[in-house]
């Protein structure tokens, strides 16, 4: 069982319009609602890959109730979200069908009280200790933890570092996907893998060259680094070696959630104990296949299978320092 943590969950709304006209009025062709936030997107992709997943974090208010109703319809995902008095945020993605791009609007999220944060910590500790559902000890143990996304107001900036240390104390590996100061603090707890994009990696290391930035992140504590390079694919730097891979062809569509699908690919490869190059190929193929899906947390399964057979993983001759 894989545990995904989404402290700042969201009710994702995706609008599709023929063309975005700034300051203009738009006729929306399609509206799709899904449970969202980076960790929930990861959970939905993992579930589609056949992995049992437990989702925790916060949910509250009318949007939180709606999110949980939608989450209950998902297969292979168990809801362990912690109630909060504030209302879960909404995110709105507007897809321009003429060019395939997406414009995103993200609300900040509810304020989390000290009592709510303490309740979450209790839930997290129970899941790490007992696995399964409701702490009954009858379910599977936790094979890996994904710590994903932004922190809502009120949550300590060092939260991910704390949660990483707790997972490691329980013998559970951690994948961290966040940015800014939470990522900087999280590195000090030595997560097993971090998955920033090139901009996020540059923001915490001060260098825009991806390989140098990935090595700098390792020196700051990350065991391994998977850096998203946008349409160019992904760079993977581990103590065992370095690899880079990109999709075999350019794809247009909605890129929202592509990075979350990459995390799911890396996580699933981790628990299946695949070699690093195979994990990277899966992550790149899933990320590209997500661009062609209608919403984040989904991927075109037929396209994914086709791309996976075509992704070329190139190995560097150097070994990155651990």
The predicted model gives 287-310 an average pLDDT of: 80
135 pLDDT band, cuts 50/70/90, is: very low
Which residues are within 8 A (CB) of 209 and not within 5 positions of it... i.e. 6 or more apart? Answer: none
Task: Give the residue, 266 or 253, on which the prediction is more confident.
Answer: 266
Distances (CA, A) of 309 to 25, 29, 285, 301: 43, 34, 9, 13
Which position among 12, 177, 192, 260 bears the catalytic label? 260
Give residue-wise pLDDT tens across range 221-249: 999 999 999 888 999 999 999 999 988 88
Residue-level pLDDT at 316: 75
Q: Provide the pLDDT confidence category of residue 14 given band limits of 50, 70 and 90.
A: confident
Q: Tell me how far apart the alpha carbons of residues 137 and 38 are, in angstroms, rounded to a whole number.
A: 27
Q: Say whether 260 is catalytic.
A: yes
What's the pLDDT at 139?
Answer: 53
Higher pLDDT, 294 or 111: 111
pLDDT at residue 123 in the model:
97
The number of CA neighbours under 13 Å toward the Cβ of 138 is 3
pLDDT at 21: 80
Can you tell me whether residue 319 is helix, strand or coil?
Answer: coil
Supply the pLDDT for residue 230: 84
Average confidence (pLDDT) over 185-194:
98
Mean pLDDT of 33-40: 94
| Tokens describing residue 219 | 């020196």
pLDDT above 50 (res 78):
yes
Region 203-216: mean pLDDT is 94
CB 245 within 8 A of CB 284: yes
Taking residues 191-210, report their average pLDDT. Answer: 94
- The confidence score (pLDDT) of residue 132 equals 47
Q: Where are the alpha helices (DSSP H) in the chain?
A: 38-48, 61-72, 114-130, 159-169, 180-187, 198-205, 210-219, 258-271, 276-291, 301-308
User: What phi, psi does 144 have (nearest 5°)?
Assistant: -165, 155
User: Which are the contacts of 169, defined by CB distance < 8 A and separation ≥ 6?
Assistant: none
């Amino acid at each position: 069982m894989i545990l995904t943590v989404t402290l700042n969950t969201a009710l994702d709304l995706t609008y599709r319009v023929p063309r975005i006209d700034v300051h203009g009025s738009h006729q929306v062709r399609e509206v799709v609602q899904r449970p969202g936030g980076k960790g929930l997107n990861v959970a939905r992709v993992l579930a589609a890959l056949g992995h049992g997943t437990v989702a925790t974090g916060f949910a509250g208010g009318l949007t939180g109730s709606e999110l949980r109703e939608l989450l209950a319809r998902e297969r292979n995902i168990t809801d362990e979200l912690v109630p909060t008095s504030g209302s879960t945020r909404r995110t709105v993605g507007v897809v321009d069908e003429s060019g395939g791009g997406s414009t995103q609007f993200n609300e900040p999220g509810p304020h989390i009280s000290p009592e709510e944060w303490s309740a979450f910590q209790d839930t997290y500790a129970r899941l790490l200790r007992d696995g399964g559902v409701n702490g009954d000890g009858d379910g599977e143990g936790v094979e890996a933890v994904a710590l994903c996304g932004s922190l809502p107001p009120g949550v300590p900036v060092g939260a991910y570092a704390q949660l990483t240390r707790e997972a490691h104390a329980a013998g559970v590996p951690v994948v961290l996907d966040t940015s800014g100061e939470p990522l900087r603090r999280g590195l000090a707890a030595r997560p097993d893998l971090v998955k920033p994009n090139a901009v996020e990696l540059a923001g915490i290391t001060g260098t825009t060259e991806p390989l140098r930035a990935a090595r700098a992140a390792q020196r700051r504590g990350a065991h391994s680094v998977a850096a998203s390079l946008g349409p160019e694919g992904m760079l993977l730097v581990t103590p065992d070696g370095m690899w880079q891979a990109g999709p075999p062809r350019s794809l247009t569509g909605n890129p929202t959630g592509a990075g979350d699908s990459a995390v799911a690919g890396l996580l699933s490869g981790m628990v299946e104990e695949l070699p690093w190059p195979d994990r990277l190929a899966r992550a790149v193929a899933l990320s590209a296949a997500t661009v062609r899906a209608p919403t984040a947390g989904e991927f075109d399964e037929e396209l994914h299978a086709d791309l996976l057979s075509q992704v070329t993983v190139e190995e560097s001759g150097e070994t990155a320092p651990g």
